[in-house]
Amino acid sequence: MGAPQLAMIGMAVMGSNFAQNFAEKGFDIALFNRTDSVTKEVYESAKNEPYADKLHPVYGEMPDLVEKVGKQGTYFIMVKAGFPTDAMIEQLLPLLEPGAVIVDCSNAHYKDTARRHEEISPKKIHFFGCGVSGGEEGARHGPSIMPGGYSREVYEEKLKGPLEAVAAKAPQDGKPCVTYIGNGGGGHYVKMVHNGIEYADMQLIAEAYDFMTRALGMSAAEIGAVFEQWNSGVLESYLIEITAEVLKQQDPSGQGQLVDFILDAAQMKGTGTWTVISSLEISDGVIPLPGIYAAVESRAISWKKDARVTMSKEFSFPVTQYEGDKEQIIKDLEQALYVAKIACYTQGIELMQAGDKEYEFGGLDIASIAEIWRDGCIIRANFLGDITDAYRKNPPSNLLLAAVFKAAVTEGMTAVNNVCVAAIHAHVPFMAFDASRDYILQATSERLPQNLTQGQRDFFGAHTYKRTDKKGTFHTEWSGDRSEKEL
Ligand code: 6PG
């Protein structure tokens, strides 16, 4: 039994599972929670596991933990983001010596991570903000890990070994799903965008389910079978796989499918909203994220269940059945979901690149980020291998321009139009699909109607405009003699 050089602070579901993952991979790790009984419970439940001798429960206060792990040890913190994380760091920091490492594995906001860097770095203690995706199962058996901090050298020396050991291994080539992401809050920024994409992916799936339920009159079990089949095509992914599982689940009281009895009000902890907020804060100009925005908005509307019930009594937009070829529209739906998914990833990648410039993460490597998302995380999918290939060989200026995605979008736009039109006729809301369609049309249009917007702005506010036929900045005297001046 060796002395632990690693510690896991926080013994809730994620922390206790992550600690056991380290132990199983051969690392001695101290277990600590602010309440001893929680640590005891975790240790007791794992004490017959083959790796139990690697688990070192520490009871008492933070100094007892530091005595065990050392003033220059490596401390993973996996408590709630925000105040609880600050509280743990505050207790830990005065006990450590230069050279120690603190790794915050919560879903922290990247600005909090940047602030913590500023507070901790002057003490010569290394701080890393580390995104961890994959839920309880991932933490235990292999998550996707996104560490960010100011020293790649310290990462290589102290974290790379343990993190590569506990990370998921991509089935395609066995590579561990972890890489040094970049400076400061880079790891948490990338995790935040991962979650934004997760929201969009989930919303598109929910809309496809809704369309099949209401416009095609299919049962949850029938739709589950469709998703199961889709999981062996271009949409192959964890989220499609679990959608089939959720839809096929029987209600325990035998009334049919469980999903039909789950309240239609989605919660959110905030990472999707942060993604949208961040896109609005980029100083070079807002980054458009309509797919992710639609997902956040749709969850927000769903949450107002009582208000919706009241409103539904005042308005009537009856859902009508789709009258075309059902088999064909399901095929179109699969293709449209793929195209819309590409649109959402395009938006997420553009935001990561803009965030990289804005917050100086030091050059995010999109190929490597997509590579470590191939397994372990919630958005894991085969498709991420194609994004890796696209950015590693000859990085396109926009994901839509990578040959494989350009072809998919070009071929799939008819299917997107078909399903959007069908949803409109059926009165089925389709916010993420519609937003994705509009995004692709706008982003690939040489001409948009914002010439008129510019004219209006100049009319009411003398905000000036540029012309297409000559250089310069212009203003028209709209309420006077309507003459145009070059400024
Ligand atoms: C992950 C998940 C994880 C968590 C989300 C859920 O990558 O493992 O994204 O971080 O499940 O925070 O977020 P909402 O509660 O906002 O849906």
Q: Output the domain CATH number for residue 455.
A: 1.20.5.320
Taking CA atoms only, the protein residue closest to ligand 1 atom 11 is 135
Burial 208-222 (b: 16+ CB within 10 A, else e): bbbbbbbbbebebee
Average pLDDT score over the chain: 97
Pocket lining: 273 vs ligand 1, CB cutoff 6 Å:
no
Mean pLDDT value of segment 99-124: 96
In order of 176, 221, 324, 337, 456, the CA distances from 329 in angstroms are: 39, 18, 8, 12, 41
378 lines ligand 1 (CB under 6 A): yes
Nearest ligand 1 atom to alpha carbon 377 = 7
pLDDT of residue 393: 82
Question: Quick check: CB of 134 below 6 Å from ligand 1?
Answer: yes
Residues 6+ apart with CB under 8 A from 119: none
Do the Cβ atoms of 138 and 168 come closer than 8 Å? yes
Residues 368 and 312 in one domain: yes
pLDDT computed for residue 170 by the predictor: 97
Using one digit for the tens of pLDDT, what is the confidence trace for 24-43? Answer: 999 999 999 999 999 999 99
* Domain finish residue from 184, 208, 236: 184
Number of domains in the chain: 3
Do 23 and 118 lie in one domain? The reply is yes
Note the pLDDT of residue 439.
98
pLDDT in tens, 448-469: 999 999 999 999 999 999 999 9
| Angstrom distance (rounded) from CA 403 to CA 340 | 17
List, in sequence order, the alpha helices (H) in 152-237. 152-154, 160-166, 186-210, 220-230
Domain boundary among 184, 203, 236: 184
Shared domain check, 369 and 229: yes
Q: Which atom of ligand 1 is nearest to the CA of 272?
A: 16
Q: Is residue 1 over pLDDT 80? A: no
Q: What is the pLDDT of residue 286?
A: 98
CB 297 within 8 A of CB 199: no
Give the active site residue among 198, 334, 350, 371.
Answer: 198
For residues 173 and 197, membership in a common domain is answered with no
* AA identity, residue 221: A
Residue 195 C-alpha to ligand 1 middle, in angstroms? 6
Banded pLDDT at 178 (limits 50, 70, 90): very high
Query: Which pLDDT score, from 0 to 100, does residue 236 have?
Result: 97
Q: Could you say which of 156, 184, 212 is where a domain stops?
A: 184
Going from the Cα of 64 to the center of ligand 1, the distance in angstroms, rounded, reads: 32
Any ligand 1 atom below 6 A from CB of 300? no
Please check whether residue 1 lies inside any domain of the structure: no
159 and 174 part of one domain: yes
Residue owning the nearest CA to atom 7 of ligand 1: 133
Predicted pLDDT at 111:
97
Confidence of residue 2 (pLDDT cuts 50, 70, 90): confident
Summarize the confidence of residues 176-185 as an average pLDDT: 97
Q: Tell me the pLDDT tens digit for each residue of 406-436.
A: 999 999 999 999 999 999 999 999 999 999 9
Which ligand 1 atom is at minimum distance from the Cα of 199?
17
- Amino acid at residue number 310: T
Query: Do the domain assignments include residue 226?
Result: yes
220 and 240 housed in the same domain: yes
Kindly give the number of the ligand 1 atom that is closest to the alpha carbon of 135.
8
Cβ count within 10 A of residue 156 = 11
Q: Is 144 in the pocket of ligand 1 (CB under 6 A)?
A: no
Indicate the top mutation candidate among 195, 239, 275, 369 to test ligand 1's pocket, ranked by most ligand atoms within 8 A of CB. Answer: 195
Tell me, yes or no, whether 127 and 221 share the same domain: no
The domain that holds 282 is classified in CATH as 1.10.1040.10
Tell me whether residue 469 is in a domain.
yes
**pLDDT tens across 298-326, in order?**
999 999 999 999 999 999 999 999 999 99
Q: What is the 3-state secondary structure (H, E, C) of the chain?
A: CCCCCEEEECCCHHHHHHHHHHHHCCCCEEEECCCHHHHHHHHHHHCCCCCHHHEEECCCCHHHHHHHHCCCCEEEECCCCCHHHHHHHHHHHHHCCCCCEEEECCCCCHHHHHHHHHHHHHHCCEEEEEEEECHHHHHHHCCEEEEEECCHHHHHHHHHHHHHHHCCECCCCCCECECCCECCCHHHHHHHHHHHHHHHHHHHHHHHHHHHHHHCCCCHHHHHHHHHHHCCCCCCEHHHHHHHHHHHCECCCCCCEHHHHCCCCCCCCCHHHHHHHHHHCCCCCCCCCHHHHHHHHHHHHHHCHHHHHHHHHHCCCCCCCCCCCHHHHHHHHHHHHHHHHHHHHHHHHHHHHHHHHHHCCCCCCHHHHHHHCCCCCCCCECHHHHHHHHHHHCCCCCHHHCHHHHHHHHHHHHHHHHHHHHHHHHCCCCHHHHHHHHHHHHHCCCCCCHHHHHHHHHHHHCCCECCCCCCCCEEECCCCCCCEEEC
CA distance 75 to 9: 7
For the Cβ of 213 lying below 6 angstroms from any atom of ligand 1, the answer is no
Residues 264 and 388 in one domain: yes
pTM for the predicted model, two decimal places:
0.96
**Distance in Å, CA 373 to ligand 1 centroid:** 14
Q: What pLDDT shows up at residue 363?
A: 97
Sorted by sequence, the CB contacts under 8 Å of residue 171 that are 6+ apart come out as: 374, 375
**Does 107 sit in the ligand 1 pocket, CB within 6 Å?**
yes
306 lies in the same domain as 215: yes
Burial tier of 95 (Cβ tally within 10 Å: 0-12, 13-18, 19+): middle
Question: Is the pLDDT confidence value at 255 over 90?
Answer: no
Is residue 95 pLDDT above 80, yes or no?
Answer: yes
90 catalytic per annotation? no
CATH of the domain at 21: 3.40.50.720
Residue 52 has pLDDT above 70, yes or no: yes
Nearest to 130 by CA among 169, 92, 91, 159: 159
Per-residue confidence (pLDDT) for residue 254, from 0 to 100: 84
Residue 371 binned pLDDT confidence (cut-offs 50, 70, 90): very high
Q: Closest Cα to atom 1, ligand 1: which residue?
A: 133
Q: Which of 48, 73, 44, 70 is nearest to 57 (CA)?
A: 44
Question: How much of the chain, in percent, has pLDDT values that exceed 90?
Answer: 98
From the CA of 369, how far away is ligand 1's center (Å)?
18
Residues 133 and 269 reside in one and the same domain = no
* Structural domain harbouring 465: 450-486
How buried is 480 (Cβ within 10 angstroms: 0-12 exposed, 13-18 middle, 19+ buried)? exposed
Residue 334 appears among annotated catalytic residues: no
Are 91 and 49 contained in the same domain? yes
**Residues 156 and 298 reside in one and the same domain:** no
Alpha-carbon distance 82 to 251, whole Å?
37
